[in-house]
Amino acid sequence: MSAATPTAPEGAYAAVHTASLADRNGFWLKAAAAIDWDVAPTRAFDAEQGVYGRWFPDARLNVCRNAVDRHAEGGRADQAAIIHDSPVTGTKRRITYGELRDEVAVLAGILADLGVTKGDRVVIYMPMVPEALFGMLACARIGAIHSVVFGGFAANELAARIEDAAPKVVLAASCGIEPARVVAYKPLLDAAIARSTHKPDACLILQRPQGEAGLVEGRDRDWAETVARARRAGRRAEPVPVAATDPLYILYTSGTTGRPKGVVRDSGGYCVALAWSMANLYGVAPGEVYFCASDIGWVVGHSYIVYAPLLHGCTTVLYEGKPVGTPDAGAFWRVVAEHGGATLFTAPTALRAIKKEDPRAEKIAGHDLSRFRALFLAGERADPDSVAWAERALDRPVIDHWWQTETGWAIAGNPLGLERLPVKYGSTAKPMPGYDLHVLDESGKPVPPGTMGTIALKLPLPPGCLPTLWGSDERFRQSYLATFPGFYDTSDAGVVDEDGYVTVLGRTDDIINVAGHRLSTGGMEAVLAAHPDVAECAVIGIRDALKGEAPCGFVVLKAGVAKDPETVERELVARVREEIGPVAAFKLALTVGRLPKTRSGKILRGTMKRIADGEDYAMPPTIEDPATLEEIGDSLKARGIGG
């Protein structure tokens, strides 16, 4: 059943990583040859520009032309650029590079007619539909800056992003579609605009048949009607060259002050880094099908649903569905088989959901995975038990890799296109070229191998990473650069072993202090997840009058487990005591039906902690199901905690 994975010479990774740090200029100028430039770079990095320096400061390009036009004109006009697979609507759509160029050129002309010019912002508030990608690429085509907001975000969160980005135009859909309900987007958009002091000049609304929306006269335009008029008039826009240092997009991530941080992505460095990663990290060739099961509202979707596959001349799968429930736990394998996917990239939580529903991997049977070569995981820590389960079930490499919204692509991983490194369960393998990774103690001193500390990246960050935050260089400095001068603070805790393998243990605020001992909740989660009856888990530190904090584990059992939950809980407490030691003071494990998560699959550990500590909390805007927080609260109250 196994598909052959391309092999690379042993030692290739080490040679490439060393070269990337020894000669940054030469390394990234060579990588830049994969991009078509209007003005080619003569130097890779200028340390005098921006907050810590800027990449390709004398170059000019157009990102849309690189992602669309050059393929449409270079022999791929009839190749599928996008396959939209939507089990929630029962529809599929294949869009070639030639068709994509036409759609994007027309929409770019419409944006220009609405007054959008180079440097203007456009907010995109849409579900997983092709028109959302058209909108992103149309902005890039005319040099506008897009800011995609996750579809269905609450009105106040959307309003904060409209306020900060000050868009001239908003592109939105009338609704999004979940397996059991239709989510009306337009009322949320109207409420957000009403709350924001900034008002967009126009909104272009894609009417979906599952839930059409009323339009505000004078401001809103019907997408289909507007596009049809533009086509009749022959309205199109050609690519506008921009500086490589000009912003391509703003992507907001949560800020500790409650005000979202607008991560800026530049145009040239991003293109170079993504193009390099497709061949060298993911081992994918132009023309192959790349399936990233994320959402365009998150950084993974920006990078590996939209820009990287299209820059590389691949076919990208745009999936509007879930890992389970649309219709079952075989959904991903059906998509991979039907469309001939070479690679699947998803979140560990999706894999755990599949494993929970189909622990014997019976849903894989009957699917032709002959072209499928590797499964990549990112988004949160991949527990070793789930990785091993997937390896056995798929007979393929399962690669956990680590990156952040801020970095735009992987910080550490296993570069299949360079060299397939041995897998160490729990580790995200080694730093990618361009990243000079260190583990530091609280005073900023390096720690010995195998010692936990804060993972920090020595400046400069490689191409593709954020140069600053939107409208706030000083906030960027204070948020990321002030703690360890000369370094970018990832705010992730971890260790690097003697072989150079990176293990990310969790956010530094997930390091709990138990009677003076600094302990990783991620390490405890790894122990819980290894129990044969546990499908997924989360460990938080809760306030303790004697020890300061005490760990509490929440576990979801696999389908079909007949064992009494209290028995499993006792076994889990004993496991942590045995594998980590009495110092962990792990005495409380609670079985629950579900864990509270965002729609992207991240577990809401911070909110769970506030419930356990009896603190007030705001309902997270991206929560998948608010009832899961009530279940957490009830399980804690039953043990006399929180409330």
Interval 312-329: pLDDT, tens: 999 999 999 999 999 999
Calpha distance 96→608 (Å, rounded): 45
pLDDT at 35 over 50: yes
Q: Is 171 helix (H, G, I), strand (E, B) or coil?
A: strand
Sheet with strand 121-125: strands edge to edge: 220-222, 202-206, 169-173, 121-125, 145-148, 247-253, 261-266
Report the chain's terminal Cα–Cα distance, integer Å.
Answer: 52
Whether 141 contacts 240, CB under 8 Å = yes
pLDDT on residue 599: 73
Instruction: Please report the pLDDT score of residue 6 as a whole number.
Output: 47
Question: What are the beta bridge partners of residue 541?
Answer: 551
Distance, in Å, from the CA atom of 579 to the CA atom of 562, rounded to the nearest integer, reads 25
Around Cβ 569, how many Cβ atoms within 10 Å? Answer: 16
Query: What type of residue is 320?
Result: E
**Residue 10 scores a pLDDT above 80:** no
What pLDDT is attached to residue 520? 73
DSSP 634: H
Measured CA to CA, the distance from residue 174 to residue 494 in angstroms comes to 43
pLDDT at 68 over 90: yes
Residue 258 confidence (pLDDT): 56
Single-letter residue type at 159? A
pLDDT of residue 580: 78
CA distance 281 to 402: 12
Residue 158 CA to residue 402 CA, distance in Å, equals 27
Q: Provide the pairing of β-strand 430-431 with 412-413.
A: antiparallel
pLDDT number for residue 273: 98
Burial class (CB in 10 A: 0-12, 13-18, 19+), 225: exposed
The answer to whether residue 364 scores a pLDDT higher than 50 is: yes
pLDDT score recorded for residue 153:
79
Greater model confidence, 310 or 441: 310
Rounded average pLDDT over 556-584: 89
Residue 635 belongs to what H/E stretch? helix 627-637
Q: For residue 22, which amino acid is it?
A: A
> Cis link prior to 384 (omega < 30° from 0)?
no
Parallel, antiparallel or unpaired: strands 502-507 and 487-496: antiparallel
- Tokens 């072993």 belong to which residue? 497
- Residue 28 pLDDT: 98
Q: Is the pLDDT of residue 4 over 60?
A: no
- Whether residue 113 is predicted with pLDDT greater than 60 in this model: the reply is yes
Length of the chain: 643
- The 10s digit of each residue's pLDDT in 202-220 is 999 999 999 999 999 999 9
Residue 402 has pLDDT above 80, yes or no: yes
Nearest to residue 63, comparing CAs of 121, 132, 143? Answer: 143
Q: What is the mean pLDDT of residues 39-53?
A: 97
**Lowest mean pLDDT, pick from 8-17, 41-50, 328-337:** 8-17
Contact between 249 and 145 (Cβ < 8 Å): yes
Q: What is the spatial distance between Cα 642 and Cα 631, in angstroms, rounded to a whole number?
A: 13
Distance CA 242, CA 246 (A): 6
Q: What token pair was written down for 382? A: 């991949």
Give the separation between CA 497 and CA 451, rounded to whole angstroms.
8
- pLDDT reported for residue 642: 79
Q: Under CATH, what is the fold of the domain 515-637?
A: GMP Synthetase; Chain A, domain 3 (3.30.300)
pLDDT at position 7 over 70? no
What are the start-end ranges of the H helices in 409-484? 473-476
Q: Pick 63-80+95-240's CATH classification: 3.40.50.980, 3.40.50.720, 3.90.1150.10, 3.40.50.300.
A: 3.40.50.980
Q: Which of 604, 163, 617, 217 minimizes the C-alpha distance to 380?
A: 604
Predicted confidence (pLDDT) per residue in 161-218, tens digit: 999 999 999 999 999 998 888 999 999 999 999 999 999 999 999 999 999 999 999 9
What pLDDT does residue 518 have? 61
Q: What is the pLDDT of residues 469-523, one digit of tens each?
A: 999 999 999 999 999 999 999 989 899 999 999 999 877 767 676 765 667 788 7
Q: Are 326 and 178 in contact (CB under 8 A)?
A: no
CA gap 60, 39 in Å, rounded: 5
Q: How confident is the model at residue 236 (pLDDT cuts 50, 70, 90)?
A: very high
What is the SS3 assignment for 457?
Answer: strand
Q: Does residue 36 register a pLDDT over 50?
A: yes
Pick from 311, 340, 520: nearest CA to 409: 311
* Element of type H or E holding 443: none
Domains 63-80+95-240 and 515-637 share a fold: no
Per the CB < 8 A criterion, the answer to whether 38 and 449 are in contact is no
Average of per-residue pLDDT values in the chain? 93
Distance CA(380)–CA(347), nearest Å, equals 7
* pLDDT above 50 for 256: no
Q: Per-residue pLDDT for 257 more than 50?
A: no
**Closest C-alpha among 490, 615, 610, 601 to residue 541:** 610
Q: Name which of 52-61, 356-365, 432-441, 605-614 the model is least confident about.
A: 605-614
| Domain edges within the chain | 63-80+95-240, 515-637
Distance CA 572, CA 103 (A): 55
Cα(506)–Cα(525) distance, rounded to whole angstroms?
A: 10
Cβ–Cβ < 8 Å for 553, 589? yes
Q: DSSP characters for 338-357?
A: HHTEEEEEE-HHHHHHHHHH
pTM of the model: 0.85
Residue 9 predicted with pLDDT over 70 = no
- φ/ψ region of 142 (left if φ > 0, alpha if ψ in -120 to 50, else beta) reads alpha
